[in-house]
Structure formats: structure tokens, C-alpha cells
Chains A and B, each alone.
Chain A
């Protein structure tokens, strides 16, 4: 692909996906500025890797995967998590739910296997169901359940059942 075609492809992808990428970055980071930073980083990565991506008709999974990892890396660099309850959230989470989500984010900053981390973010932060999450990750639902089981097994003190209920 020549540079003009590539630039055009990235522009089209940006117009189609950037708001979705930004939405999920905001769901994790709870900061407009940081979500915008990461969104730009995601599309710079898309530009650099575009020729290697085979499933161009289904870029969403790739973009979500990369944005999740970049958001977690960003959180890890911060000394403390700042989930400001005053920031309006589209899901209108209750205080209790915010607390559980905060605990999940704290857990995720520890060195998890990347796939486990992806699954936890899709299910508990983004609110996808297991079928959707499995499709996004390109794995079977049984594999997804194993990722979640692993997270739960190593996060025994976390009240995940609250989110599942």
C-alpha cells in the first residue's frame, strides 16, 4: 500500500472508529484529556501496523485490544488511581459500583497476563456479555471463562459477584 492509500485508510478508520476508541479509553481512565492522548496513540499504532493487520474488515477488535493495553499502561504509570465520583459517567454507576470498579482497576495494574486483563476489562468495565467479549478477543467462550476464573481465583477479596449480579 502506498503512502497516500495508507493515509486515506487511516483517515477513514479514524472517522469510523475514533469515537468508539475514545469512549472505551474514557471508561477506563475517567479523564477526557488522557482518553484523547491514548486515542491518538492507538491510531498512530494503527498507522504503523496497518499493513500487517489481516482482518481489516474487522478492525474494532484490534483497536479495542490495543487501547485497553495502552490505558492499563497509563494507569500503571500513575501513582494512584483517580476515579472521581463527580465525573459524570454514561452508565450512571452507583457509588458502590464505582468502588468495585476502582478495586478491579487496582488489581489490573498488577502484572497480569494480557489476555486475562483484556477479558476483565471487556466484561467488568465495558459491560460486554461473554459472547461479545469472546468474539472481540477471538477466543471461544470456554476459553474466556477460564481467563475470568483465573482472575477471580487470584482476586479472592474482590466483590466481583456484585457486578455479575
Chain B
């Protein structure tokens, strides 16, 4: 069989050794006969050879001395964080008023338990509906947080999210509300950004900021990343970020999702 376009991802996996056993033999035979795939494979193999000649593993370790000092680093981080992290988790469990807790189950679903200041509206496919306690979410669900109406008094609002890899996302104002099911007498309003959940493992923390003066994105990005660089527990991260808030002028609601 000759492919019209090379099976790029499969060839990349084949080349890096992610395809094994019978599948490897089968695809190797395909590569021998398919011109498009063969051309891409040759291109990648040539690049790999050139790359490793220019940037060997030795050059990588030489440029990154931290890598060679790993034993020391790991020992330091354990001693440094074990006690404060454990203590902060205990404190956070009792004190966080806006935390939404998610339990890990044997299914790929995400489960939200409990709500205080925030509730959620979800779009899954063509359906839009409110999510109650212990609702099972799935990757691909689009989530909109419902914020107490008392927060409407703040002129500026912003949402950021941080995942376990340290990837910080900023959400552009969307102003689309997922649902009109909330009547005017509702005590909450839809936050004007939505979040799409994925299936990646680890936590994802949403930070919803409200202020009566303009919010500096750079300040918050660097503030959150500074906290993340020194803390890896989602509850601790939330606590530390909350401690950055000047409550007179700015309010922060946080939600930790564990997948």
C-alpha cells in the first residue's frame, strides 16, 4: 500500500522505538514499500544523525550542570518540602472555602465533589447543563464557573490555570455564556471565560481574579510561576497564591482539579 501522505506520527513513533513487536515488523514492511512514508523516514533518520552529531547527550549534560548534581538536589527538595507541604495540606483541607475536590476513580472521568462559592455549567457535545455535586466530567468537557453575584462589583476579571507540568494558561475574554438556564434571581453569574478539560494526568488549578483596578497579567504570571517553582502540591500552591492577594482591592477564587 502506498500512502497519499506519509503517516508522520506513526513514523516518528516507529523511529523512536515506541512501536514494538508484531506492529513494528508490520510497519517496517510498509515502510519498505511506501514511497511517501519512506521519504519521511529517511528525512527523519538523516536529521537524527545530524542532530546527535551536533548535540550529543554529553553536550546536553555539559550545558545543564544541574542534571549532574541531581542526587544533591533531590535530597534537598525532600527535606525542604516534606514538612511544610504536609502541614499546608492539613490546613488547606479545613480552611479553603472555594476548593472543589475531585476524587480519583478507576474510570477516566473526573469527579467534582462539593461547592461553596462556585458552581459549574458544562458543555458536552451539543448538551449544556449545570454540574452538581459529585458530577463525573470527561476530557473535552467545556466548563464555565458560576461566580457569586457579589463579585460583579469588581470591574476587572481574569482567569488563569496552572497544570502539574507548570504550564500556565491565560484565558481570553470570551463573554459567551454556556447557558441561559440561570434566571435573574440566581445568586451567581457566569464567569466570562470557559475552560476545556483534557485527559492529561495531574492537577489543574484555575485562578479567578477580580479587581477594582486593572490587573497586571505579567505580575500574576510571574507570581504564580514563582510559587509553582517552589511548590508542587496543588493545595499549597493555592494557599501561597492566595497569600499574594491584597484583599482590599482584589479577590481570588481558586479551584483545584485533580485528574
A residues apposed to B, CB below 8 Å: 3, 6-7, 10-11, 14-20, 22-23, 36, 39-40, 43-45, 47, 49, 52, 54, 57-60, 65-66, 69, 90, 110-117, 126-129, 132, 135-140, 142-143, 146-147, 150, 154
Instruction: For the complex, give the distance between the alpha carbons of A48 and B166 in Å.
Output: 12
Interface SS of chain A: helix, strand, loop or mixed?
helix
Closest CB in chain A relative to B159 CB, distance in Å: 9
Chain B residue nearest to A126 (CB atoms) is: B8
* B201 interfacial by beta-carbon distance below 8 Å: yes
Give the contacting residue for A19; candidates B5, B48, B217; CB below 8 A.
B48
Chain B residue nearest to A32 (CB atoms) is: B54
Tell whether, in the assembled complex, residue A137 and residue B172 are in contact, meaning their CB atoms are under 8 Å apart. Answer: no
Tell whether, in the assembled complex, residue B195 and residue A143 are in contact, meaning their CB atoms are under 8 Å apart. Answer: no
Instruction: For the complex, give the distance between the alpha carbons of A89 and B248 in Å.
Output: 53
Query: For residue A65, which residues in chain B have a CB less than 8 angstroms away from its CB?
Result: 165, 200
Tell whether, in the assembled complex, residue A20 and residue B12 are in contact, meaning their CB atoms are under 8 Å apart. Answer: yes
Instruction: For the complex, give the distance between the alpha carbons of A10 and B66 in Å.
Output: 14
Closest CB in chain A relative to B115 CB, distance in Å: 22
Give the contacting residue for B63; candidates A40, A59, A135, A138; CB below 8 A.
A40
13 new A-B pairs (CB below 8 Å) besides A18-B52, A114-B163, A139-B198? A7-B70, A19-B44, A19-B52, A36-B55, A58-B13, A59-B16, A60-B13, A111-B170, A111-B172, A111-B217, A116-B196, A127-B8, A138-B200
Query: For residue A114, which residues in chain B have a CB less than 8 angstroms away from its CB?
Result: 161, 163, 167, 169
Instruction: For the complex, give the distance between the alpha carbons of A111 and B218 in Å.
Output: 12
Closest CB in chain A relative to B43 CB, distance in Å: 7
* B212 interfacial by beta-carbon distance below 8 Å: no
**What is the interface residue range for chain B against chain A?**
35 or more
Closest CB in chain B relative to A51 CB, distance in Å: 10
* B64 interfacial by beta-carbon distance below 8 Å: yes
Query: For residue A23, which residues in chain B have a CB less than 8 angstroms away from its CB?
Result: 44, 47
* B94 interfacial by beta-carbon distance below 8 Å: no
Interface SS of chain B: helix, strand, loop or mixed?
mixed
Query: For residue A36, which residues in chain B have a CB less than 8 angstroms away from its CB?
Result: 55
Query: For residue A150, which residues in chain B have a CB less than 8 angstroms away from its CB?
Result: 196
Closest CB in chain A relative to B66 CB, distance in Å: 7
Tell whether, in the assembled complex, residue A115 and residue B125 are in contact, meaning their CB atoms are under 8 Å apart. Answer: no
Give the contacting residue for A66; candidates B10, B139, B142, B165; CB below 8 A.
B165
Instruction: For the complex, give the distance between the alpha carbons of A57 and B196 in Å.
Output: 27
Q: 16 A-B residue contacts at CB 8 Å?
A: A3-B70, A3-B74, A7-B67, A19-B50, A20-B44, A22-B55, A40-B63, A52-B202, A66-B165, A66-B167, A69-B167, A90-B43, A114-B167, A135-B9, A139-B199, A154-B174
Chain A residue nearest to B67 (CB atoms) is: A47
Chain A residue nearest to B195 (CB atoms) is: A113
Query: For residue B8, which residues in chain A have a CB less than 8 angstroms away from its CB?
Result: 126-128, 132
Tell whether, in the assembled complex, residue B172 and residue A147 are in contact, meaning their CB atoms are under 8 Å apart. Answer: no
Chain A residue nearest to B50 (CB atoms) is: A19
Chain A residue nearest to B77 (CB atoms) is: A48
* B78 interfacial by beta-carbon distance below 8 Å: no
Query: For residue A140, which residues in chain B have a CB less than 8 angstroms away from its CB?
Result: 139-140
Query: For residue A136, which residues in chain B have a CB less than 8 angstroms away from its CB?
Result: 9
Chain A residue nearest to B68 (CB atoms) is: A7
Instruction: For the complex, give the distance between the alpha carbons of A16 and B195 in Å.
Output: 34
